[in-house]
Amino acid sequence: MKFAGKVAVITGSGRKQGLGEAIARRLSEEGATVVIADIGGSRDSATPDAMIGAEAEMREVAESMPGAASTFSCDVRDPDQVRALAAHAVAAHGSLDIWVNNAGIGYIMKPLGEVSADDWRAVIDVNLTGAWFGLQAAAEIMIAQRKGGRIVNIASQAAKSGFPHAQAYTASKHGLVGLVRSASIELGAHGITVNNVCPNHVTTGLGKWQNEHFAAVQGISVEQYLKNMAARIPLGRPGLPEDTANAVAFLCSTEASYITGESMNVSGGEEPH
């Protein structure tokens, strides 16, 4: 129970079988009290119902956790809502020790010439600016608590390499690399570590949509697309949610207390740098 007495906020964790849920469950299994945070409902065309965690599903996720959990609806594009989420963790559970920026848009994928200004802004606003708001809000509380803390961003293999139809997504994830490199320098003196986890493809609900999208782009079946993917991964399979969750748990543990400013690959060897 390495996280007993710790309180963890995980954004974008309100969908069943999603990456955020897996991270929350892994931390909860080790004793953390978790805050299941998601947008709660569609706000605009960039946040369709099929791709976000609604309040009812958030509650179901929280109730499925092995330990104590609460929910909080938060649009990470709004700094006031993000600060309110951080304040909720302290008010409801007495502390804020771990913050995981997991919320992201990975479903706006278009050829370069078809990407609109609104598309670009939506992805950057959630994936990069939303992570910045979370980091800032968490750091403020952690500094005031004077007991250190852990901040982890869920980046992507796209933080290291480019992909077609993913210009905004790739740019946003590359931006997280620079963000942790700078933030880790400033926060190190307070005992706060800041790191990225960079998974390759994970077939969650969003991952299933990506499989179908890119298989159609290439003119092949989803089955063939997945076979081709597995063939280029040294360990022979795409990632599982638990692979990323285990990496997050490590970075949040005392064993990783001397690791900060890093972008850790969790890619089965597909992404070597």
pLDDT digits (tens, 9 = 90+) for 15-31: 999 999 999 999 999 99
Alpha carbons 114 and 109: distance in angstroms, whole number? 9
| pLDDT above 80 (res 180) | yes
Q: What's the token pair of residue 77?
A: 């594009």
What does the mean pLDDT of the chain come to?
96
Sheet containing strand 263-266, strands side by side: 69-73, 33-38, 7-11, 98-101, 149-154, 192-199, 263-266
CA nearest to 100, candidates 84, 120, 85: 85
pLDDT digits (tens, 9 = 90+) for 161-178: 999 999 999 999 999 999
Give percent above pLDDT 70 in the chain: 100
230-262: burial string, b at 16+ Cβ within 10 Å, e else: eeebeeeebbbbebbbbbbbbbbbeebeeebbb
Alpha carbons 3 and 26: distance in angstroms, whole number? 10
Length of the chain, please? 273
38-48: burial string, b at 16+ Cβ within 10 Å, e else: bbbeeeeebbe
Q: What is the mean pLDDT of residues 136-155?
A: 98
How many distinct helices (H) and strands (E) make up the chain? 9, 7
Q: Is 197:251 a contact under the CB 8 Å cutoff?
A: yes
Alpha carbons 35 and 10: distance in angstroms, whole number? 6
User: Which residues are catalytically annotated?
Assistant: 169
Q: What is the mean pLDDT of residues 39-59?
A: 94
Furthest CA-CA distance within the chain: 55
> In the chain, where does DSSP find H-type helix?
19-29, 55-63, 79-93, 117-124, 130-145, 167-187, 205-218, 222-231, 241-251
pLDDT, residue 67, reads 98
| pLDDT above 90 (res 211) | no
| pLDDT above 80 (res 267) | yes
pLDDT digits (tens, 9 = 90+) for 184-209: 999 999 999 999 999 998 978 777 88
DSSP secondary structure letter of residue 126: I
